[in-house]
Amino acid sequence: MEILLEQLQGIPPIYLIQLVFWLLAGLISFVFSLGNARIWTSISIGFFLILLSQFYLLNKLFHTPTTAAFTYITGTVAIMLITHGFLEYYVFCRTFEITGRKQTVYLTTILLLVLSWVFLAINPEPSMFTVRNIKMVENAIWVFLTLMNLEIIRKIYYAIKDSPISKAFICFGIVFLCILLWKGSELYLQVFQWDRLWGNIAFQLDLDEVGFDLDIKLDDSEEYWRRINVARQVYDYAGLLAAMAVSGTFAFLYKLLK
Amino acid sequence: MFQLPKGNPLFENLAVTKLKLTDVVMKLANGSFTGYASFTFPTATGILVFESGKLASTILAPSQGQSIFGFEAMTSLAEQMVTSGTGTMDVYRLSKDLTMCVHALLQGEALYRSQELALIDIKTLLERVKQEQMNGCLRIYTDEKSAMIFYKEGNPLGFFHDGSQDIDSSPGESQQLAQDPKAKLDLYTTVSADELMSHDLLDVINVAKIWDAAVARQQAELNRMNRELADKDRMQSINRLTDLENQIRTIYIEYVGNVGRGIIDKELTSAGGNSCLLEQERSEQFMTALEKAAKLLISVKKIAEMKEKISALLIQARA
């Protein structure tokens, strides 16, 4: 408990608020997944998994590289599930076919997470580079699939424009815009090695020295500090807005389908 | 059609619908019957005259229009028997001579037809009948009454008038009628009874074929009518189902939006068409499918409301 309190005190307030909202969003979406149609289960379980992927913020509780890597893989599973759900919804709008069972969604999710853990367990403990690579892959997938989801949501909205639930898809559109900024800004920082994790790596390995010897400019953050700062602000606030939008959207959806 | 003497009735008021013309003709022919069979239909009267089992004449007189004879009459008689649905048959045995006279009346050679009695010398005419030893029938009539005198070889066989059942031996009514200034006469002659027996219409008319053809035509007509009736029923059923389907579609769209149109179409196709709406089990499966799809679009409360409305329609339709 003490560690938890100490940990919470160590988290910047904006991440703490973000964590609270992700907790809220996770709970609402999980409860929502229980009482609704199969297609909603994929979507809501996916959003619930974002909560698990945000636990990396409590990095003293989950400080091992393996657990950190696992939370990032969980994030990847989350967006894949969400995308699968929206794709299914789009297929329903075009063919009016509903297939599958809720239990299958739950079991597949658990299986994927277990396999991910096994994958990490049977391989050497991930280095800081590996953890950062996994995080970058996660962000790349999030950005790509978020763009795809925005297009799917647009198409779903036009297919069910006059249905009561169509407004919820506008909310999902807002959610994905926030997520695009959130994950996109972090990917941007990672691609140019302006992210905090790279900073830690560079500090620990003293890479500047290596770069000097090899005449490679490893850190140009001094020159682009303004845009780096903007990207970090976008990452912080878009993440917070995404968490709030997900909570709000699921609460709205719950009201619409009650 | 004028009345004929009834002689000795063999059958009276037999329902024609239960008879086959072939059987009737064969029975009378095989029984060496002498007399006539009369068929009375709502729109026509048919008569078959037999002389010792040989078909001497066939006539069919419609209530309106010209009488027809021979093959044509037999064909029409068969059609009347098959199609009329009502009608009676009477069979009367007569003497050979009287049968010959009936034949003359129906199909004999007309020496006079609608001749005004006042314009001819009836005595001279009767002498001519006697002298020429005519076989036949002299018919005297007004608009209200008629009387007949049957002759064999120029001698009167008997007298018959409207209202009587059989042949009289006295000419009372005929004489009275002959004095009416408006009276007219017809005189029909024919060959002798023996000569008449030398011809048999059954040698040239295949009654069985005529009957079978009439039955086949009637059956074809019945089949056509049944088909039309079935088509009409089917169309009514289709229209009723289409109306029901449209009502359900309207309610569903009202709740879930235009996407509901596609859902209804798809689920009806899956259920094997809108006929499922009238069957309890299949319509319940259809409703479950609609509900499953609606769960993705509207609230549980609205689904219950919608289901109630659609179920009411289905119950009403099934009732």
- Check whether B173 has a pLDDT greater than 50: yes
Residue pairs between chains A and B whose CB atoms are closer than 8 Å: 52
Q: Which residues of A touch B257 (CB under 8 A)?
A: 160-164, 166
What is the distance between the alpha carbons of residues B57 and B102, in angstroms, rounded to a whole number?
Answer: 9
A99 touches chain B (CB under 8 A): no
Lowest mean pLDDT among A129-138, A211-220, B34-43, B249-258: A211-220
pLDDT digits (tens, 9 = 90+) for A68-92: 899 999 999 999 999 999 999 999 9
Tokens 């007219």 correspond to B184
Q: Please name which of B226, B229, B236, B260 lies closest in space to residue B246, comparing C-alpha atoms.
A: B260
Residue B297: which of A95, A97, A163 has the nearest Cβ?
A: A163
In chain A, which residues have their Cβ closer than 8 Å to the Cβ of B293? 92, 96, 98
Mean pLDDT across B72-96 = 90
pLDDT (tens digit per residue) in A210-236:
555 545 455 566 677 888 889 999 999
Q: Phi and psi at residue B55, in whole multiples of 5°?
A: -75, 110
- Identify the residue with better confidence: A256 or A119: A119
The arithmetic mean of pLDDT across residues B187-197, rounded, is 76
Give B264→chain A minimum CA distance, Å.
9
Judge: A165–B302 Cβ closer than 8 Å, yes or no: no
∠ CA A96-A143-A235 to the nearest 5 degrees?
130
Report the mean per-residue pLDDT for chain B: 87
Compute the nearest-CA separation of A234 from chain B (Å): 34
Name residue B234's amino acid.
R
CA B37/CA A180 separation, integer angstroms: 104
pLDDT for residue A82: 94
CB contact A177 to B (< 8 Å): no
Burial of B215 (0-12, 13-18, 19+ CB in 10 A): middle
Which pLDDT does position B67 carry in this prediction?
87
pLDDT at B33 over 70: yes
Chain centre distance of CA B42? 8
Q: Write out pLDDT tens, residues B274-296.
A: 888 888 888 899 999 999 899 88
Cβ contacts of residue B117 below 8 Å, gap of 6+?
Answer: B140, B178, B180, B181, B183, B184, B185
Between residues A77 and A36, the one the model is more confident about: A77
A96 vs B contacts (CB less than 8 Å): 259, 262-263, 266-267, 293
CB atoms B297 and A164 under 8 Å: yes
Pick among A96, A165, A258 to test the B interface (most B CBs inside 10 A): A96
Which residues neighbour A19 within 8 Å (Cβ) at sequence distance 6 or greater? A11, A54, A57, A58
Burial class for A7, CB neighbours closer than 10 Å (0-12, 13-18, 19+) = middle
Chain A 146-165, residues with CB within 8 Å of chain B CB atoms: 159-165
pLDDT tens digits, B209-251: 999 999 999 999 999 999 999 999 999 988 999 999 999 999 9
To the nearest whole Å, the CA of A120 is away from the closest chain B CA by 37
Q: Residue A61: what pLDDT? A: 58
Q: Tell which of B254, B296, B306 to mutate to test the A interface (max A CBs under 10 Å).
A: B296
Give the minimum alpha-carbon distance from B276 to chain A in angstroms, rounded to a whole number.
Answer: 19
Contact state of B300 with A161 under an 8 Å Cβ cutoff: no
Which pLDDT score, from 0 to 100, does residue B197 have?
Answer: 67
Does any CB of chain B come closer than 8 Å to the CB of residue A111? no
> pLDDT-based confidence at A116, cuts 50/70/90?
very high
CATH number for the segment(s) A2-257: 1.20.1070
What are residue B47's DSSP bridge partners?
B38, B59
Percent share of chain A, pLDDT over 90: 48
Residue B190 per-residue DSSP state: E
On whether any CB of chain B is under 8 Å from the CB of A97, the answer is yes
- Cβ-defined contact of B295 to A164 (cutoff 8 Å): no
| Minimum Cα–Cα distance from A90: chain B residue | B296
User: What integer is the mean pLDDT of B66-86?
Assistant: 90
At B37-47, the pLDDT tens digits run 999 999 999 99
Question: According to the per-residue pLDDT averaged within each range, which of A51-55, A200-204, B41-45, B142-146 is highest?
Answer: B41-45
Query: Hey, are the CB atoms on A40 and B296 less than 8 Å from each other?
Result: yes
Q: Is the ipTM of this complex over 0.85?
A: no
Tell me the mean pLDDT in the region B181-208.
82
Q: Tell me which residue has tokens 């959130």.
A: A182
List pLDDT tens digits, range B150-166. Answer: 888 888 888 887 667 67
User: Would the pLDDT of A133 be above 60?
Assistant: yes
Are B296 and A159 an interchain contact pair (Cβ–Cβ within 8 Å)?
no
Among candidate residues B148, B149, B171, B150, the one with its CA nearest the CA of residue B99: B150
Identify the closest residue of chain B to A36 by CA–CA distance.
B295
In angstroms, the CA A238 to CA A235 distance is 5
Residue of A nearest to B291 (CA): A37
The residue-averaged pLDDT of B243-270 equals 93
Facing residue for B258 by CB, picked from A97, A98, A162: A162
| Residue contact A96–B257, C-beta within 8 A | no
| Chain A (201-240) residues lying within 8 Å, Cβ to Cβ, of chain B | none
Question: What is the predicted pLDDT for the residue at A216?
Answer: 46
Nearest CA in chain A to B259: A160
Residues B100-119 have a mean pLDDT of 82
Distance CA A142, CA B275 (A): 48
Q: How many angstroms separate the CA atoms of A149 and B316, rounded?
A: 45
CA distance A96 to chain B (A): 6
Whole-number Å distance between alpha carbons of B68 and B78? 13
Per-residue confidence (pLDDT) for residue A175, from 0 to 100: 95
Mean pLDDT (chain A) is 86
Would you say B166 and B5 are in contact if contact means Cβ atoms under 8 Å apart? yes
The confidence band for A110, taking pLDDT boundaries of 50, 70 and 90, is very high
User: Do the Cβ atoms of B275 and B264 come closer than 8 Å?
Assistant: no
Range from A96-110, A115-129, A189-203, B161-175 carrying the lowest mean pLDDT = B161-175
Å from A64 to nearest chain B CA? 41
